[in-house]
Amino acid sequence: MARVGIYLCDCGPNIVGALDMDALAESARRGVGVVRVGRHELLCSPEGRAFLARDIVEHKLDRVVIGGCSPKEHEATFRGVLLETGLNPYRLQIANLREQCAWTVRERDQATRLAQDLLAAAAARVLRHEALKPREYTAVPDVVVVGAGIAGMHAALALARKDRAVHLVERLPCVGGKVALFEDVFPGMECASCVLDPWMDELLHHEGIQVHLQAEVEELLGFKGNFTVRIRERARYVDEEACLGCGACAEACPVEVPDPFNPGLAFRRAVYLPYPGALPHLALIDPAACLRWRGQDCSTCEEVCPFDAIRYGEEDRVIELRAGAIVLATGFDLYDPSRSPQYGYPRIHDVITAFELERMMNASGPTGGELRCRDGRRPSRIGFVLCVGSRNPATNRHCSEVCCRYTLKSMQRILASCEGTAVTVFHADLHLPGREAQDLYRDLVERPDVAFVRMDKPDSARIDVSEGRLVVRFRDEGCRELSREVDLAVLAPAMLGAAGSGKLADALHLERGAAGFFDAGKTLLDPVGTGRDGVLVAGCAGGAMDIPGAAAQGLAVTGRIQADLVPGEVCRLDPVQAVVDADRCSGCGLCEGLCRYGALEWDGSERRVTVNEVLCRGCGVCAAACPSGAIRCLHYTDEQISSEVTALLNG
């Protein structure tokens, strides 16, 4: 036999001033199972809570209704009081007599009637409350880092050094991201690979880091402390233990395809090493290019490999990982200037992107570090066109932060190594934060062989060939239509979120902005957060930034994870969840596709659906859809809701 206690809170003057409290108490007394009706000036105060606790014990209550302010304010508070007295905290129901009664209905009688109905509904509902117990689980301390660029590697190494198990998932066959492809890096003109190599080496050999190359995330479910991540590691078709990266296979391979690491500049074979210096130093086969995958019978690479490392029969591996936190460090891709045809890229051969310039100037790149026009001659006039596809509502609205600085860097390098070269920079404002950039700019601007030309608007230059000469056309600040001849035009395209991150965003149900960056840092003081607990963003995946910035974010996520995801931490699952009655479930399967959290699991052999209690958020959408009424949404069951509705209408 239930023993329900109903407590009316005066709430200072808020409730007592607007409602007839005696009438409320009287009608409350008539409720089924009600053995006690109490009143207090301010239940949420320390005295109020003490009174409540004492009273509950004194009257041996097993369920409590509180008529007071909105449950949003103090549901947690009063649940705490119940817990103190030994009652299950879910045996509480609050009637909102303030925000949705005393404060909104002016006429006293009407407000009192409303309050009576709300209390009756709460009393009817609480009779049907079950003693729910939160389930506990131990948080998984491991981390999945997606993307092995600067930010991802930094996070992985910093975490692993603190004994976290890290899974580093990288789409490409090598680590290092974009930076490993650069040579001299602003501002100190340090060699990127020299800086990165020892570091990447440590990472690749660290026991605590499992590097998954050629891998992408297929599915990601769960929440902080309890993620399951399914990844697919595409086959390399090369035995990683046996291969020494000698390159004999590539030399012999009959197929040539454009090399994505040296776009527009070089070709590679169907079996290949990614680029000189790529780590790990292993070959792989590209099934899109290889003859065998087109039904032809070629085993050239297998025949010439001195270490018997080729494995045509290798298969993709699908792996399920468990982690407590996810770091998205998928980096950036450059805007494709062919989408802005006025730049003539790639139709006009001597119009290249800054990335292609980097590869050209790289001593181990396709031209051995020599700057060359398409026809082989050395360019004596080079034009840098900034803000390509940037700062323009028609293309991308944002500024990509680093282009001005890397342009200065490239200029400095070119002027130092290629005598007799003149450089023109076509820009609309220069973004040069920090001292080094300003110093460099000052040095450059004073040179007679350098010209900084200001256009009236960003992303407004045009490039074409006129009488066999390459011409950059623009409007200057005075709106005069001008043009300059160059031998080589280098475009600085916008940085966008990596193209591949779209699939990841879908798997995570995360938003990406128009430029493809993850929506990170929406809250002012949380630059690496996504609003999803346990999912963090580091580096250019969240927005254009420079190398120190990406490194800093790699460390920032490490700090967050160290602080928020403590090994051995016990987490509690909210018991408000869906539960399937196996005796009622008919296996119609109509609920399964509804769950956005993947919490409904289909048992193919039993032909029943069950709820994964770790993933379920208790929204109840499945419960409302089940035509058998086989799904109960705990704490929001049909009986509870029905009893509320009936009592609200019939007092």
Tokens (6 digits) for 121 = 């509904």
Residue 121 as a binder of other proteins (CB under 8 A): the answer is yes
Q: Are strands 481-486 and 570-573 parallel, antiparallel or unpaired?
A: unpaired
Residue 99 as a binder of other proteins (CB under 8 A): the answer is yes
**Torsion angle, alpha carbons of 502, 277, 386, 415, to 10:** 180
Residue 440 as a binder of other proteins (CB under 8 A): the answer is no
Of 314 and 574, the one with the shorter C-beta distance to other proteins is 574
Q: Are strands 631-633 and 578-580 parallel, antiparallel or unpaired?
A: antiparallel
Residue 532 as a binder of other proteins (CB under 8 A): the answer is no
Among 295, 478, 583, 605, binds other proteins (CB under 8 A): 583
Among 9, 63, 67, 117, binds other proteins (CB under 8 A): 117
Among 113, 164, 171, 512, binds other proteins (CB under 8 A): 113
Task: For residues 194 and 196, give the distance between their C-alpha atoms in angstroms, rounded to a whole number.
Answer: 6
Among 72, 347, 447, 503, binds other proteins (CB under 8 A): 72
Contact 398, 515 (CB under 8 A): yes
Stretch that binds other proteins, among 93-101, 153-161, 399-407, 539-547 (CB under 8 A): 93-101
**Closest separation between CB of residue 580 and other proteins, Å?**
12
Task: For residues 13 and 234, give the distance between their C-alpha atoms in angstroms, rounded to a whole number.
Answer: 68
Of 433 and 593, the one with the shorter C-beta distance to other proteins is 593
**Closest separation between CB of residue 96 and other proteins, Å?**
7
Of 122 and 571, the one with the shorter C-beta distance to other proteins is 122
Between 559 and 578, how does the x/- string for binding to other proteins read (CB under 8 A)? -----------------x--
> What's the Rg (C-alpha) of the chain?
33
**Closest separation between CB of residue 584 and other proteins, Å?**
6
Among 242, 248, 451, 590, binds other proteins (CB under 8 A): 590
- The one-letter code for the residue type at 390 is S
**Closest separation between CB of residue 117 and other proteins, Å?**
6
Of 109 and 303, the one with the shorter C-beta distance to other proteins is 109
Pick out residues in 274-333 that bind other proteins (CB under 8 A). Answer: none
Of 155 and 633, the one with the shorter C-beta distance to other proteins is 633
Contact 366, 266 (CB under 8 A): yes
Among 194, 482, 566, 645, binds other proteins (CB under 8 A): 645
Pick out residues in 611-630 that bind other proteins (CB under 8 A). Answer: 617-621, 623-630
Residue 589 as a binder of other proteins (CB under 8 A): the answer is yes
Of 263 and 587, the one with the shorter C-beta distance to other proteins is 587
Of 266 and 507, the one with the shorter C-beta distance to other proteins is 507
Stretch that binds other proteins, among 94-102, 224-232, 263-271, 513-521 (CB under 8 A): 94-102
Residue 134 as a binder of other proteins (CB under 8 A): the answer is no
**Closest separation between CB of residue 481 and other proteins, Å?**
45
**Closest separation between CB of residue 228 and other proteins, Å?**
19
Of 380 and 628, the one with the shorter C-beta distance to other proteins is 628
Contact 195, 172 (CB under 8 A): no
Contact 180, 278 (CB under 8 A): yes
Tokens (6 digits) for 107 = 């006429």
Stretch that binds other proteins, among 25-33, 49-57, 76-84, 103-111 (CB under 8 A): 103-111
List of residues 6+ apart from 194 with CB closer than 8 A: none
**Nearest partner of 386 among 460, 289, 302, 480, judged by Cα:** 460
**Closest separation between CB of residue 648 and other proteins, Å?**
4
List of residues 6+ apart from 279 with CB closer than 8 A: 174, 175, 176, 180, 197, 200, 201, 204
Residue 70 as a binder of other proteins (CB under 8 A): the answer is yes
**Nearest partner of 216 among 156, 321, 142, 146, judged by Cα:** 146
- The one-letter code for the residue type at 348 is I
**Closest separation between CB of residue 601 and other proteins, Å?**
11
Among 476, 502, 596, 603, binds other proteins (CB under 8 A): 596
Of 442 and 584, the one with the shorter C-beta distance to other proteins is 584
Of 219 and 592, the one with the shorter C-beta distance to other proteins is 592
List of residues 6+ apart from 235 with CB closer than 8 A: 214, 311, 314, 315, 316, 317
Of 47 and 581, the one with the shorter C-beta distance to other proteins is 581
**Closest separation between CB of residue 169 and other proteins, Å?**
25
Residue 105 as a binder of other proteins (CB under 8 A): the answer is yes
Residue 642 as a binder of other proteins (CB under 8 A): the answer is yes
Tokens (6 digits) for 371 = 């700057």
Among 526, 592, 598, 610, binds other proteins (CB under 8 A): 592
Burial status of residue 424 (CB atoms within 10 A of its CB: 0-12, 13-18, 19 or more): buried
Task: For residues 148 and 154, give the distance between their C-alpha atoms in angstroms, rounded to a whole number.
Answer: 9
Size of the site for other proteins (CB under 8 A): 61
Burial per residue of 425-436, b for 16 or more beta-carbon CB atoms within 10 angstroms, e otherwise: bbbbebbbeeee
Task: For residues 559 and 209, give the distance between their C-alpha atoms in angstroms, rounded to a whole number.
Answer: 17
Q: What is the DSSP letter of 430?
A: -
Contact 328, 280 (CB under 8 A): no
Pick out residues in 490-529 that bind other proteins (CB under 8 A). Answer: 509
DSSP string, 445-499: HT-TTEEEEEBSSTT--EEEEETTEEEEEEEBTT--EEEEEESEEEEEEPEEE-T
Q: How far is CA 346 from CA 127, 343, 349, 629, in A?
A: 73, 8, 6, 61
**Closest separation between CB of residue 585 and other proteins, Å?**
7
- The one-letter code for the residue type at 219 is E
**Nearest partner of 636 among 579, 591, 551, judged by Cα:** 579
Residue 98 as a binder of other proteins (CB under 8 A): the answer is yes
Which residues contribute to the site for other proteins (CB under 8 A)? 70-72, 96, 98-101, 103-107, 110-111, 113-114, 117-118, 121, 509, 576, 583-594, 596, 602, 607, 617-621, 623-630, 633, 636, 638, 641-642, 644-646, 648-650
